[in-house]
Structure 1
Amino acid sequence: MDIRLIHTEADYQAALQRIRKLWEAGPGTPEADELEILAMLVNKYEEEHYPIEEPDPIEYIKIRMEELGLKQEDLVPYMGNKGNVSKVLSRKRSLSLEMIRNLHRGLRFPLEVLIAEPNLNSKATG
């Protein structure tokens, strides 16, 4: 087992290649231990070099609406009225604290997504 920290893209690719070879290792074997350590190192490298941006709250709402088969009028109980829903989805109005709470409680939307800064570069769509 020759494990080193991952500093470069070449190190990262080599670690991924080794992980693929170790994938079939049975539990409790030295190979399984090596796989677990390499996976932690790869995860650390990916967090530092390939961070995942927090999703935009409005895009998240739109995606979840599509996934759940919801229409704008289905959000009225959580946002107050049709006008609020339309304004929020077209980025003409921000989510209020009450809307965030209602969406979280009623539809189980994650608070951390709803309170994230909206992406101001997104197109206003209704």
Structure 2
Amino acid sequence: MRRTMVTHRVEIVTRQVPLHPIADDAQYEVAVAATNGLIDAGAGDEEHSLAPLLGLLGEFIAAYEERTYPRPDAPPAEVLRLLMEQHGLKQGDLPEIGSQGVVSEILSGKRESNKNQIAHLSERFGVSPATFF
């Protein structure tokens, strides 16, 4: 009886948070939604107990995107610059990332974004966190 309850709970969790490589667009959408939920829950903070789950989902999403939507290699700074341009943003418009100086250092390649910054960028632009790795 207990094993059945545990199996049932695992099935419920895996419907909400895919704990396996992503096979199709439907699973991808579920994974992205779960990622956004984890970010909303604070898992973008490396110290958060759900941070490892967010990292795992990010890896599954990135692998699926690489297989399904190949894109030319572009440094994360270049991707951020393009997204800012598309959204009409300036360096000072990203306070969740840091000061204008921090954003400038990220855009110039002098500094890499940390997990928390990547989580904020992913949420702000509606893209996978893998976009900034």
TM-score under structure 1 length normalisation: 0.46
Higher relative contact order (CA 8 A, sep 6+): 2
TM-score under structure 2 length normalisation: 0.43
More helix as a share of residues: 2
